[in-house]
Structure 1
């Protein structure tokens, strides 16, 4: 079996694991922002920290394997794949989102959160929308320019 297919399968598997955490973490932020209990806050601080640090290696492995795939497909393929250029911009937004989660984690850890549960509910939708767009781009591969 081709090593390319193994790398692609691992890329997808790590992406799914990363997204599981990226979908759940803002939901924990919602609960944290809406709770008035010190005990609940302490529990959520632990859960948030563990989850973010657990999924960060998946984000890094997704990136590394994605770059390996681009390298294996070659520069001519990359130049012709306009859908991939858009996908990479969206993926960059996801990495900024992931990094911003560390800032939010710090705010909660230091009791500096000023945002509402509603903000975190909306914040939770961004990766869902990007995931749909990325999947459509990767599967359909539309010619964009």
Structure 2
């Protein structure tokens, strides 16, 4: 019963963490969108976006990430057999990618706070594409956990499907941005 409760908490805080990361990177995009605005409007919006990003990061994203990780570690200790399964090693590999993405987000939040109204160094399109990275990691982790041993057996179909998905999402982002520029 304890394991099931910890697992439920792990999933709840995983959802909260990803919600925070998804919205955080959107805030970066909105912040970057202000580059073309008048100085007065730009300053007001950037101050608000910086405030929102800092609060989201400190109050939702990081605490949810910590609780998610702690629950995951407790689950490993309660079920040591997980460490003997290949699918779980694959999940951990994807979580390393998530940790790198988390670090990138943290650096961007620090940039916003330190710049005090100046622009982000990352191009708008790159920020929009970076916004999809958490989605890709979420897909990889969820499919790995749900399919478990089938992931290892059918890995090449899953990888192919993943790259097709990545391509389609990236092309959609580019098309949406192109249509915005054309208006």
Q: Determine if the TM-score, normalized by the shorter chain, exceeds 0.5.
A: yes
Measured against aligned partners, the alpha-carbon deviations of 1:61-109 in whole angstroms (never above 9, x if no partner) come to: 11111011111111x4421x10110101111211221122111112122
> TM (normalized to structure 1)?
0.92
Corresponding position: 1:122 with 2:129:
yes
- Kindly state the Cα deviation for residue 39 of structure 1 after the two structures are TM-superposed: 0.3
Q: Report if the CA contact (8 A) 2:9-2:71 is conserved.
A: yes
Task: Give aligned pairs, total.
Answer: 142
CA distance in structure 2 between the aligned counterparts of 1:139 and 1:51, rounded to whole angstroms: 29
2:142 to 129, 135, 144: 135
CA distance in structure 1 between the aligned counterparts of 2:138 and 2:57, rounded to whole angstroms: 18
Aligned position for 2:11 = 12
Q: Cα RMSD between the aligned structures? A: 1.4
Q: Larger radius of gyration, structure 1 or 2? A: 2
Unmatched 5+ stretches in structure 2: 154-183
2:50 to 45, 48, 58: 45
- Kindly state the Cα deviation for residue 40 of structure 1 after the two structures are TM-superposed: 0.3
Comparing 85-94 and 4-13, the one that deviates more: 85-94
2:63 to 54, 57, 60: 57
- Kindly state the Cα deviation for residue 118 of structure 1 after the two structures are TM-superposed: 1.1
Q: Report if the CA contact (8 A) 2:20-2:57 is conserved.
A: yes
2:77 to 71, 76, 82: 71
SS of residue matched to 1:5: helix
Q: Point out which structure has higher relative CO (alpha carbons under 8 A, 6+ apart).
A: 1
CA distance in structure 2 between the aligned counterparts of 1:109 and 1:58, rounded to whole angstroms: 21
Aligned position for 1:98 = 102
Unmatched 5+ stretches in structure 1: none
Q: Report if the CA contact (8 A) 1:30-1:116 is conserved.
A: no
> TM (normalized to structure 2)?
0.74
Corresponding position: 1:89 with 2:88:
no
